[in-house]
Chain A
């Protein structure tokens, strides 16, 4: 691709954009107003992993997904890891994402997080760091599938000549994963549906895209109702019992009888059906306590505690401002660090020290001092870069990677993921909501 003349590259780029428009894949940007159908920039230069590199990553990702689920079953059960003094009780039990309503409940197959999105960055040939875990409803997998589709249409020859492992099995694997966690009371082939907050949601496209590819219904709360021991969906042929819901709405909105009483997005009575084994909710309510940024620090400890293994993937060294010593260090070194809100996401509410002005740093200092426990800090990593097409030609840009690990009867990982790229020179923020772009991710067969 490097050899491609500039005119051809521009032509191809225009072709890619036209394809995206035609397919209709867009990503609305939170808090920025503007065009909700704005295209997320797609970069044609793929990110490539060798089979050996991927094999190690895959082991590490699956290991982490197992540990996170073991942690969730534990903290809603006996809390052994807390009793053993390996993680502070307050961090778990006073966490906003900890749901008292599911204490004592073990979901089918002991899985709380069925789709674990793990954000990784590379800092050396064999060194990957986990930036964060996403145990609730990680988004972006539609880009993984679409990026591949676009690349295959534009460069069919490359795919004929290279042994690039396929990712197209993802929707079928997701469907099988969800069917494999059908509840105790389901005695026939399980009916699966995706629960969406509706078309105003920024990820609605992805919800309908996945429902379509999996061959399942896309439903909103108003399409569902509880009667007796089960939850039903209204269809033109009458009510149909639902067995597994892949929900893309937050815990707080799932059931107004149990959580926020003003929620119109959920289904009244759903939690009673869930807890009595009439339906499976994926991810399980309460799964969020495992992906909190303050809990993140302890994930390597979870791997050792539950699996008796050494973590294959490393955590980024993290300072917790809730600890006095850490806070002191962070405030003294703000200019060098990346500071994040514990509950923040999408790249908002963060300070990238080396890229910030004095005023920005001082303003952030005041916020940290006001509520230290709301912040964590990490060093600015020497992130790997990947060749990327830019105005001037091809230049290195920072990338990260989010693979999607499926956890059900088996643990599955398609070889690939979503590669996000910071398109601004030197920028480390890859979030699509902050102007990042995406690339196809290639894993070569050995």
Chain B
């Protein structure tokens, strides 16, 4: 499938800021089932900074904007060719050893409830792949999709206790539970095209990847939609948690407040 993406983020500052510095993970990597055909990121008045491919295989690009400035726009536009491979990440060049993704972060710390969920989910699993599918089901059962129930800083443990959340919470909970059972797991940010009205998603989406030793590969799991990523998904980057995998990290030198307006449109231009 060929997916077309338009993603615009508008930052507004109450008081003009003296400068903005951002680090972007906004360019999809090329691997077996994903190939960017064209891709363009632009930042209003932005000065491109250093760019490099990090150890996890993600493209990182710095940007800075010299102030004073009261609003900036980050605009992403492109087309990506995708294939369905049941979520298996093949041909992705990376050097971070999978065991690194057993590390805990504040957002993915497993409390006793997450540990129990993890232990019970994997206990009947025939192999890692089966265990991961069971984990995904258990998380989807335990956390109902409800936008607005949680916020950006909600932890996996908090979301599970609440029993509600969005894709970020599903991914965090699955990662926390998986790691507690000894399975390396990571957070993936990207885009998802809504195929039908019933799909639970926002176009800017997030899911989890579990390291499956038997396959020697990372496999994606989207607990929010109870499926493995297919050709409707575009993978942008990964990390230990949402903050670590954030497509845009930034900071402004200023004193006032900041507001954010995000629009994402994604559609299939060719089936």
| Chain A positions near chain B (C-beta within 8 angstroms) | 76-79, 82, 89-90, 93-94, 98, 100-105, 225-229, 256-258, 261, 268-269, 271-273, 275-278
Given the known A-B contacts A89-B97, A227-B64, A273-B62, are A103 and B47 also in contact in the complex, defined by CB atoms under 8 Å?
no
A335 to chain B, nearest CB (A): 35
Residues of B within 8 A of A275 (CB): 50, 52, 54, 60
Given the known A-B contacts A226-B21, A273-B62, are A93 and B97 also in contact in the complex, defined by CB atoms under 8 Å?
yes
Are A103 and B251 in contact, CB atoms less than 8 angstroms apart?
Answer: no
Residues of A within 8 A of B97 (CB): 79, 82, 89, 93
Are B49 and A229 in contact, CB atoms less than 8 angstroms apart?
Answer: yes
Contact residue among A94, A100, A272 (Cβ-Cβ distance under 8 Å from B60): A272
B240 at the interface (CB under 8 A from A): yes
Residues of A within 8 A of B95 (CB): 77-78, 103-104
| Chain B positions near chain A (C-beta within 8 angstroms) | 19, 21-23, 47-56, 60-62, 64, 66, 95-97, 99-100, 102-103, 240, 243-244, 249-251, 253
Most chain A beta carbons < 10 A, residue from B19, B48, B50: B50
In this complex, what residue of B is CB-closest to A279? B50
Are B99 and A227 in contact, CB atoms less than 8 angstroms apart?
Answer: no
B180 to chain A, nearest CB (A): 14
A13 to chain B, nearest CB (A): 51
A-B contact list, 19 entries, CB within 8 Å: A93-B97, A94-B103, A103-B95, A103-B100, A104-B54, A226-B49, A227-B19, A227-B66, A228-B47, A228-B48, A257-B21, A269-B22, A269-B64, A272-B50, A275-B50, A275-B54, A276-B52, A276-B62, A277-B50
Are A98 and B100 in contact, CB atoms less than 8 angstroms apart?
Answer: yes
Bound-complex Cα distance A278 to B19 (A): 19
Are A257 and B49 in contact, CB atoms less than 8 angstroms apart?
Answer: no
Give 9 new A-B contacts, CB below 8 A, not counting A257-B250, A276-B62, A277-B50.
A79-B97, A89-B97, A89-B99, A93-B99, A94-B100, A94-B102, A100-B56, A100-B100, A229-B49
Contact residue among A94, A98, A105, A227 (Cβ-Cβ distance under 8 Å from B47): A227
Residues of B within 8 A of A102 (CB): 55
In this complex, what residue of A is CB-closest to B244? A100
Residues of A within 8 A of B54 (CB): 101, 103-104, 275
Residues of B within 8 A of A90 (CB): 99
Are A100 and B240 in contact, CB atoms less than 8 angstroms apart?
Answer: yes
Given the known A-B contacts A94-B102, A273-B49, are A103 and B56 also in contact in the complex, defined by CB atoms under 8 Å?
yes
Q: Is the interface of B mostly helix, strand, loop or mixed?
A: strand
Are A226 and B55 in contact, CB atoms less than 8 angstroms apart?
Answer: no
A257 to chain B, nearest CB (A): 5
Bound-complex Cα distance A271 to B52 (A): 11
Residues of B within 8 A of A257 (CB): 21-23, 249-251
Bound-complex Cα distance A101 to B52 (A): 12
Contact residue among A79, A256, A268, A273 (Cβ-Cβ distance under 8 Å from B50): A273
B58 to chain A, nearest CB (A): 11
Residues of B within 8 A of A105 (CB): 55
A238 to chain B, nearest CB (A): 13
In this complex, what residue of A is CB-closest to B97? A93
In this complex, what residue of B is CB-closest to A90? B99
Are B49 and A104 in contact, CB atoms less than 8 angstroms apart?
Answer: no
In this complex, what residue of B is CB-closest to A278? B50
Contact residue among A94, A103, A272 (Cβ-Cβ distance under 8 Å from B23): A272
In this complex, what residue of B is CB-closest to A258? B23
B259 to chain A, nearest CB (A): 19
Residues of B within 8 A of A268 (CB): 21, 250-251
Residues of A within 8 A of B51 (CB): 276
In this complex, what residue of B is CB-closest to A222? B253
Bound-complex Cα distance A278 to B51 (A): 10
Contact residue among A94, A100, A228, A272 (Cβ-Cβ distance under 8 Å from B55): A100
Most chain B beta carbons < 10 A, residue from A76, A229, A268, A275: A268
Are A276 and B50 in contact, CB atoms less than 8 angstroms apart?
Answer: yes
B129 to chain A, nearest CB (A): 22
Are A103 and B55 in contact, CB atoms less than 8 angstroms apart?
Answer: yes
B34 to chain A, nearest CB (A): 20
A52 to chain B, nearest CB (A): 44
Bound-complex Cα distance A77 to B55 (A): 9
Bound-complex Cα distance A278 to B55 (A): 18
Residues of A within 8 A of B50 (CB): 229, 272-273, 275-278
7 tightest CB-CB pairs across the interface, nearest first?
A276-B50, A103-B55, A272-B62, A104-B55, A269-B21, A228-B47, A268-B251
Are B100 and A93 in contact, CB atoms less than 8 angstroms apart?
Answer: yes
A269 to chain B, nearest CB (A): 4
Residues of A within 8 A of B53 (CB): 104
Bound-complex Cα distance A94 to B101 (A): 9
Bound-complex Cα distance A89 to B99 (A): 8
Residues of B within 8 A of A261 (CB): 243
Bound-complex Cα distance A366 to B251 (A): 44
Bound-complex Cα distance A89 to B101 (A): 12
Bound-complex Cα distance A288 to B92 (A): 29
Residues of B within 8 A of A76 (CB): 55
